[in-house]
Structure 1
Amino acid sequence: MIIRPALATELPALRTLETAAGAPFHDVGMASVAEDEPPALPVLAASLRAGRLLVAYEEGGPDGGLAGYLMWEPVDGATHIEQVSVAPAYAHRRIGQALIDRAGADGGDRPLTLTTFREVPWNAPYYARLGFRPLTDAELTPGLRAIRAHEAELGLDRWPRLCMRREAAG
């Protein structure tokens, strides 16, 4: 597997991958999440310009081998994982884990944070297996509070959500 910074020419393919990766939300009664628009090209391009967009490829794989991507941003001294998605054809191969680990390494000696659905098996339970722990309300930083407020405005609080954190490896 190859993990590297994304290229501008790959941005449309990341949107396609995101749509496919979201389809399983239909199976857990979350159609609006499954049908949500992927990040817009200008959003992806801004992350690309900031050096905060990674892609994973598996040589010789389907769809040219594009297996996943991760977009992150700095939030209150942490590397906040804004989006991590794996193409369904590459599920269960630890590609998400590899992207998260690389974002942690690229982010320096900072913790990783994310927001996620509490009860979706490939969300909070998955991240817990990768060493993330749920944050209490008292532990939320101002930046995480702002992210959660924005998610609530988008209607994502229809389902239980939480913030999680993994300490820096070093």
Structure 2
Amino acid sequence: MIAVPSPAELPLLRALERAAGEPFRHLDMAPVADDEPPSLDDLSRYQRAGRALAAYDVRRPGAPADGGGPVGYLLWEAVDGCTHIEQVSVHPDHARRGIGRALIDRAERDGGPVPLTLTTFAEVPWNAPYYARLGFRVLTDAELTPGLRAVRAQEAALGLDRWPRVCMRREPGVRAAEYGN
């Protein structure tokens, strides 16, 4: 089940983000694993605007009727006429169950019939290669819009360019291959 998280669940998203960052440590990307999750103020801003989505695992045996707490989340915003995925994270205990794909597909529906964009690590298996399986393609430098250039500049200022990064785009209506991701 995917829904806009309640204000009370926003601290749970921060904990989820910390857990989702841990696998980066195994790729010698400890600064990414140690990065501070979005603040409660930032999460609240996305939540109030309806641009925060949370996934709840209701398939889990013994799960509460309400699905329990979030196991994944996504934040999006409009950037140059596209639905830009600012963050998507799934708790490692719930990876490879289609949660990320479902969050992205829901953001596409909520954002309207416009392309999806995101920025990500090029060489991390659960980043660019994963998004390519979901129908995203890497943009060339010439294809970057002013808004995406600003996003990339902010990422560079945060030091994320220590590892190769790319901007990606998925056209409306393109669906993921069925990989169980």
TM-score, normalised with respect to structure 1: 0.96
- 2:57 is matched with which residue? 58
Partner-residue secondary structure (3-state), 1:64? coil
| 1:84 match: secondary structure | strand
- Partner of 2:11: helix, strand, or coil? helix
Does 2:86 match 1:82? Answer: yes
Residue 114 of structure 2 is matched in structure 1 by 110
2:68 is paired with a residue of what secondary structure?
helix
Aligned partners of 1:61, 1:143: CA distance in 2, in Å? Answer: 41
Structure 1 residue 106, shift from structure 2 partner: 0.8
Runs of 4+ in 1 over 6 A off after TM superposition: none
Are positions 1:43 and 2:42 aligned together? yes
Question: Using the alignment, how far apart are the partners of 1:111 and 1:76 within structure 2?
Answer: 10
Q: Unpaired runs of 5+ in structure 1?
A: none
| Map of 1:162 onto structure 2 | 166
- Output the CA distance in 2 between the equivalents of 1:8 and 1:106: 19
Q: Alpha-carbon deviation of 1:143?
A: 0.3
> 2: CA distance between counterparts of 1:111 and 1:169?
9
The superposition leaves residues 145-167 of structure 1 with CA deviations (integer Å, 9 ceiling, x where unpaired) of 00000000000000000100000
Q: Percent identity?
A: 68
Q: Deviation at 1:64?
A: 2.9
Instruction: Name the amino acid aligned to 2:36.
Output: E
Match of 1:130 among 122, 129, 134: 134
Name the residue aligned to 2:28.
29
Q: Secondary structure at the match of 2:112?
A: coil
For 1:143 and 1:66, the matched residues in 2 are separated by 30
- Structure 1, residues 108-150: CA drift from partner, whole Å, max 9, x if none? 1110000000000000000000000000000000000000000
Aligned counterpart in structure 2 of residue 71 of structure 1, from 65, 71, 75: 75
Letter in 2 for 1:78: C
- Which residue of 2 is the match for residue 5 of structure 1? 4
Letter aligned with residue 123 of structure 1: N
Q: How far apart, CA to CA, are the structure 1 residues paired with 2:125 and 2:51?
A: 26
- Matched residue pairs, number? 169
In angstroms, what is the RMSD of aligned CA positions? 1.4
Aligned letter for 1:36? D
